[in-house]
Amino acid sequence: MTELLRHPNKLRRVVEELDAIIGDQNIVEEFHLPRLLYLEAVVKETLRIHPPAPLLMPHTPSETIVVAGYTIPKNSNILFNVWAIQRDTQFWEDPLQFEPERFLNVIEKKNYKGNSFDFFPFGSGRRICVGISMAERIMMLVLATLLHCFEWELPNGRKPDVKEQLRLVLSKVEPLLVVPIARSSNSMQYQ
């Protein structure tokens, strides 16, 4: 939501997609999600820039191995910095820019299965998050519902802050505070 409020043109494009696919008098339902391609790209771009767990669960090699010329001893704890990898200019053009469009045309970066080692916000291998499908659906359904039912304004003309802090997970330093304004006269959307 913060990135969409920082980029009104992207927010407008998501709302237009929602209106075109769902209609202004209907409610968002799970069967709509596969058709919401731009919303899916927004979620993925957000997870690329702001991964919830920037340091993945430790991996431990069962034997000493050499990777890219580095010797990694058996039983070492290896942490992958997904936050840095997903912002690497070697893999991403303008990595600090919020550009959901980058996920619309590149097929190998469209999934969270951990096979693309420049985009794996849920990890990879045996320690990949088992709740990926549920998380993807819930994130999209909640965001789609909020954007379809309401317009969002920042109080007193404030700008959203994107500063983050690392604790157990990555979180915003300053919570997002927004004001919802009903978009529809259909009371069914608000029940």
Q: Which residues are annotated as a binding site for heme?
A: 129
Could you give the CA distance from residue 45 to residue 18 in angstroms, rounded to a whole number? 18
Please, are residues 26 and 145 in contact by the beta-carbon 8 Å criterion? no
List binding-site positions: 129
* Cα angle 88-162-99, degrees, rounded to a multiple of 5: 50
How would you label 143-154 residue by residue, b for 16+ Cβ within 10 Å and e otherwise?
Answer: bbbebbbbebee
CA-wise closest residue to 113 among 92, 142, 95, 136: 136
Closest to 5 measured CA to CA, from 188, 186, 172 = 172
CB 123 within 8 A of CB 56: yes
Residue 185 CA to residue 2 CA, distance in Å, equals: 26
d(CA 147, CA 58): 36
